[in-house]
Amino acid sequence: MRYYISLGSNLGDRRRHLAQARSLLQKAGVRIIRQSSIYETEPVDYLNQPWFYNQVIEVETPHNPISLLHLVKDIEHRMKRKPTFDKGPRTIDIDILLADRTVVQTQKLIIPHPRMSFRNFVMIPLAEIAPDFVHPLLHQPISILAQMTGDSSTVRKVEEIHQLTAV
């Protein structure tokens, strides 16, 4: 199954944390197909914290959505993500945004991610790698939704990623 996953970090060596999360996903058998550039992004909701580095990756894995959720939570734990408070600082944040055209609604997991279309730090990198992907509930391409977030937070590219795995 194909997924789009958001990676974010605003504590310590943010770039290294994103690379480590990608590496741990790959070691767990998750194949990275595409990855966006890395963006430095202004915090949203809780503003009094360091800026984030964010990235979106397209992956392929045999994991079902719940199994993938367990995997990403385990990776967050292994990377020493410490619970602070909702929307607070973190070494790593890994969110499942989309799972092909599948819709999942459980107490532990909602796909498509319910707030993704309102967040520049998700939609701008996602639009970079999947502009034509149609959101399964909003029925609009990501490139259009990225222009309609209503989010005024700053998102600036800090590192171009040129390596794309063959699809």
* Residue of 22, 81, 119, 151 marked catalytic: 81
As a whole number of angstroms, the distance between CA 108 and CA 94 comes to 14
Active site residue 95: yes
Which candidate, 96, 80, 71, 70, places its Cα nearest to that of 13?
80
* Residue of 14, 22, 95, 151 marked catalytic: 95
* Residue of 90, 115, 119, 156 marked catalytic: 90
As a whole number of angstroms, the distance between CA 17 and CA 7 comes to 9
* Residue of 14, 93, 119, 151 marked catalytic: 93
Q: Residues near 126 by Cβ (< 8 Å), separated by ≥ 6?
A: 4, 6, 36, 56, 97, 116, 133, 142, 146
Peptide bond into 112 cis (omega under 30): yes
Active site residue 45: no
Active site residue 90: yes
What is the distance between the terminal CA atoms of the chain, rounded to a whole angstrom? Answer: 13
Active site residue 15: no
Which candidate, 69, 44, 72, places its Cα nearest to that of 150?
44
Active site residues: 81, 90, 93, 95
